[in-house]
Amino acid sequence: MLILTCPCCGVTGEETEFHQGGEAHLTRHGPGASDDEFHTYMFAKENPKGVHFERWRHNNGCGKWFHAARDTMTLEVYGTYPAQTLEPPQEIRDAITAKRPGWTWREFA
């Protein structure tokens, strides 16, 4: 069971109050993109054992989207942060480094 804190309304709730919305920090390649770019956006998703970044929605609560950094193996949540960010904030990266030194995820570390 994941316990997530919604950064929009402050509720700390269990997983069933939320809905997972796929991989975080994707660049949405659309019209005008190359086939390779679109293919990567559409199909090439991270599936790590360990540190992962996702989009979540507080669908049974305030209804807002946000980001979560968590561990797919231990279900530990390193932190949640606003949807309006293009990359994980430094304090989230620091929280992960404290537990998983040397972690990497896509272009982030």
Question: For binding to Zn ion (CB under 5 A), which residues are involved?
Answer: 6, 8-9, 58, 61-62
| 3-state SS, residue 93 | helix
Considering only 36, 37, 45, 63, the residue that binds other proteins (CB under 8 A) is 63
Considering only 10, 32, 101, 102, the residue that binds other proteins (CB under 8 A) is 10
Residue 62 binding other proteins, by CB under 8 A:
yes
Residue 33 binding other proteins, by CB under 8 A:
no
Query: Which residues contact residue 91 at a Cβ distance below 8 angstroms, ignoring those fewer than 6 apart?
Result: 79
Part in contact with other proteins (CB under 8 A); list of ranges 29-37, 53-61, 71-79, 100-108 = 53-61
Contact 55, 44 (CB under 8 A): no
Angle in degrees, CA 69, 19, 10, rounded to 5: 65
Question: For residue 77, is it left (φ>0), alpha (ψ between -120 and 50) or beta?
Answer: beta
Q: Give 17 or 23: the residue with its C-beta nearer to other proteins.
A: 17
Considering only 2, 4, 5, 13, the residue that binds other proteins (CB under 8 A) is 13
Contact 66, 8 (CB under 8 A): yes
| 3-state SS, residue 20 | strand
Q: Give 16 or 74: the residue with its C-beta nearer to Zn ion.
A: 16
Q: Give the shortest CB-93-to-other proteins separation in angstroms.
A: 25
